[in-house]
């Protein structure tokens, strides 16, 4: 059987908790026939069976560590598959601390967790077992700083041609909780007046009007925003010209609850109006 370029096959794989289910749902909503946790050796049979079915012309298959019994010969299987079909591998991953947090939030067990429930050990073992798949991937996406909505949009945009070709994510965070990974531009605004030290403002956040007013009425904030807007006005078109699909801008203050959310919301309005591109905000510490 010869290669069939008009049919598309996406193998969605990666670390548990990195967003594989979100990616598969995005592809399914875009017209792909999706199967999760499908035994890889049976994939060729599935492609043959669905060859003449217009409803299953494009397929997406979820492959992960749950199929470890079938991963022994996966390198040769994938190479043979790519010779016959227009196949791509999407590998999703995230930092270990992010995966640990996601598992704690969902309270679901990891497929490799032993009787002692050592999640960190399970994550490390999974990285090693999926290394061969990662090396063959056509696209590796670190979802550490992605919300489910952002990952969904990225997958639909990248593989289905839906949505805009360029978007911006504005991320507020607190330095005391660590610098977020995979940020393209990072700005430290801890030099601005801190509402945390005003008793009436401390319980509020940067999304509340009293805090916003306190931060923005500072002349230093006004000058900083003017200079920052000038810089972004210079840089954003260059990233667009480069062909970047998503630009992530991090704005950090000490705790991530007051100053940085205010600045993020101001920049959101500026960027949306100035560049007419989708702008998504993520306030990590809120």
Query: pLDDT of 163-172, one tens digit each?
Result: 545 789 999 9
Do 123 and 224 lie in one domain? The reply is: no
Contacts of 183 (CB under 8 A, 6+ apart): 145, 171, 248, 249, 250
Sorting pLDDT into bands at 50, 70 and 90, what band is 195? Answer: very high
> What is the pLDDT, as a whole number, of residue 161?
65
Do 21 and 134 lie in a common domain? yes
Per-range mean pLDDT, top range of 105-114, 160-169, 242-251:
242-251
Domain boundary residue, one of 160, 189, 224: 160
pLDDT at 220 over 90: yes
- Give the pLDDT of residue 43: 78
pTM (2 d.p.): 0.56
User: How many structural domains are present in the chain?
Assistant: 2
22 plus 109 within the same structural domain: yes
pLDDT, residue 196, reads 95
Q: Pick the closest to residue 271 from 238, 229, 234 (CA basis).
A: 229
Same domain membership, residue 189 and residue 59? no
* 173, 281 contact by CB (below 8 A): no
Domain boundary among 160, 190, 223: 160
Q: DSSP character for 205?
A: -
Do 96 and 28 fall into the same domain?
Answer: yes
Q: Kindly state the tokens that stand for 262.
A: 């205010």
Q: Report, as an integer, the average pLDDT of 119-130.
A: 84
Say yes or no: 11 and 144 in one domain: yes
Q: Do 92 and 207 lie in a common domain? A: no
The answer to whether residues 214 and 255 touch, using CB atoms and an 8 Å cutoff, is no
Please give the average per-residue pLDDT across 87-114, as a whole number. 81
- Run of H or E including 237: helix 219-242
- Check whether residue 24 and residue 152 sit in a common domain: yes
d(CA 279, CA 89): 28
Asked if pLDDT for residue 174 goes beyond 50, the answer is yes
Query: What local confidence, expressed as pLDDT, does residue 156 receive?
Result: 82
| pLDDT band at 70; cut points 50, 70, 90 | low
From the CB of residue 105, how many other CB atoms can be counted at a distance below 10 Å?
Answer: 9
Q: Write the CATH number for 127.
A: 3.40.50.300
Q: Do 139 and 207 reside in the same domain of the chain?
A: no
Per-residue pLDDT at 1 = 40
Residues 97 and 204 reside in one and the same domain: no
**pLDDT class of 17 with cuts at 50, 70, 90:** confident
Choose the final residue of a domain: 144, 160, 176: 160
What range defines the domain where residue 97 resides? Answer: 4-160
Whether 179 and 133 map to the same domain: the answer is no
């Amino acid at each position: 059987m010869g290669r069939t370029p008009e049919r598309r096959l996406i193998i969605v794989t990666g670390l548990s908790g990195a967003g594989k289910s979100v990616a598969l749902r995005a592809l399914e909503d875009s017209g792909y026939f999706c199967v999760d946790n499908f035994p890889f050796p049976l994939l060729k049979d599935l492609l043959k069976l669905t060859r003449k079915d217009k409803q299953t012309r494009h397929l997406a298959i979820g492959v992960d560590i749950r199929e470890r019994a079938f991963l022994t010969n996966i390198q040769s299987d994938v190479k043979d598959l790519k010779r016959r079909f227009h196949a791509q591998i999407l590998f999703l991953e995230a930092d270990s601390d992010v995966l640990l947090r996601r598992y704690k939030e969902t309270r679901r067990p990891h497929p490799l967790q032993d009787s002692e429930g050592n999640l960190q050990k399970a994550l490390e073992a999974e990285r090693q077992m999926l290394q061969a798949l990662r090396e063959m991937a056509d696209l590796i996406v670190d979802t550490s700083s992605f919300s489910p909505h952002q990952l969904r949009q990225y997958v639909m945009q990248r593989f289905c041609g839906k949505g805009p070709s360029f978007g911006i994510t504005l991320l507020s965070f607190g330095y005391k909780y660590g610098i977020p990974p995979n940020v393209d531009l990072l700005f430290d605004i801890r030099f601005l007046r801190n509402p945390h030290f005003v008793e009436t403002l401390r319980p509020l956040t940067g999304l509340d009007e009293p805090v916003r007013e306190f931060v923005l009425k500072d002349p230093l904030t006004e000058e900083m925003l003017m200079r920052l807007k000038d810089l972004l006005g210079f840089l954003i078109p260059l990233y667009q010209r480069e062909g970047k699909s998503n630009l992530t801008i991090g704005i950090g203050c000490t705790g991530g609850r007051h100053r940085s959310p205010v600045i993020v919301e101001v920049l959101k309005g500026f960027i949306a109006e100035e560049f007419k591109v989708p702008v998504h905000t993520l306030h990590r510490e809120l």
